[in-house]
């Protein structure tokens, strides 16, 4: 049933709750998921992190991926990282 693929797999609030528990995460928004829970889910999100270096920011994404996969099974996770202060700088334009 191909239409099932476009259905939301996991409540964004549930993902948000998990992500916010990871140290270094300041904000998480635009969360979406689709796929079949327990088979293969696709999750994407925007993330505001405290560290400004790529290595530390990447570590945070690894931690998020591990947590979500442990909870929801096989998942392909795409994380769009925004540095801390990005949103407030954007507002001034
Ligand atoms: Zn964003």
Question: From ligand 1's centre to the CA of 28, what distance in Å?
Answer: 8
Round to whole Å and give the CA distance between 84 and 63.
18
Give residue-wise pLDDT tens across range 20-61. Answer: 999 999 999 999 999 998 899 999 999 999 999 999 999 999
With a threshold of 0.85, does the pTM exceed it? Answer: no
- CATH number, domain at 52? 3.30.70.1350
Question: From ligand 1's centre to the CA of 9, what distance in Å?
Answer: 21
Question: From ligand 1's centre to the CA of 65, what distance in Å?
Answer: 18
Give residue-wise pLDDT tens across range 71-84. Answer: 999 999 999 999 88
The reply to whether 89 falls in a domain is no
Confidence of residue 89 (pLDDT cuts 50, 70, 90): low
Round to whole Å and give the CA distance between 44 and 52.
21
Backbone angles phi, psi at 24, to 5 degrees: 100, -15
Structural domain for 55, as ranges: 2-82
Question: From ligand 1's centre to the CA of 1, what distance in Å?
Answer: 32
The reply to whether 91 falls in a domain is no
Confidence of residue 9 (pLDDT cuts 50, 70, 90): confident
The reply to whether 21 falls in a domain is yes
User: Total structural domains in the chain?
Assistant: 1
The reply to whether 46 falls in a domain is yes
Question: From ligand 1's centre to the CA of 63, what distance in Å?
Answer: 19
């Amino acid at each position: 049933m191909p239409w099932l693929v476009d259905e939301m797999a996991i409540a964004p609030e549930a993902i948000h709750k998990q992500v916010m528990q990871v140290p270094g995460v300041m904000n998480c928004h635009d969360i979406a998921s689709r796929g079949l829970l327990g088979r293969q889910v696709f999750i994407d999100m925007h993330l505001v992190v405290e560290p400004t270096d790529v290595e530390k920011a990447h570590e945070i994404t690894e931690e998020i991926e591990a947590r979500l996969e442990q909870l929801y099974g096989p998942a392909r996770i795409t994380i769009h990282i925004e540095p801390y202060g990005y949103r407030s700088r954007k507002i001034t334009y």
